[in-house]
Amino acid sequence: MAGHIEAQWQLLEPRWKGIATAAEYGSGLTGGRWLAYQIEGVTINGLFATVKVRMLIQQILPPSAASHLRARPTGVVADDAWIRIRGVWYRNIDTGQSPSQTAQP
């Protein structure tokens, strides 16, 4: 939520370190800002986990939009995949998306 891209990048599975730098990862985090999040549940199956996250996101309107219009916050529930490697949990990259497409708060 604080927008610390480097800290978010460090949570990514080590294989991503060779795919995208922290700056490249952060470049895809546009279009909205996270206002709040809540963990709804966690399912662990061996070395893999799914974290159900409820997020409150406010869309950032383009400059061409009327200045008096403000996007209303939207609630979203998403499943976030994690993997444990040598005892440490990381966001799993095997989602079929690029690192910037799966960015979370």
Count of other CB atoms within 10 angstroms of residue 5? 17
Residue 101: the pLDDT is 46
CATH for the stretch 5-61+71-102? 3.10.450.50
Residue 42 in tokens: 């966690």
Lowest mean pLDDT among 15-19, 77-81, 88-92: 15-19
This prediction has a pTM of: 0.68
Give tens-digit pLDDT for 21-58: 888 877 766 566 777 888 999 999 999 999 999 888 77
Task: Write down the pLDDT at residue 9.
Answer: 84
Domain positions in the chain are 5-61+71-102
- Rounded to 5 degrees, what angle do the CA atoms 56, 15, 39 make? 25
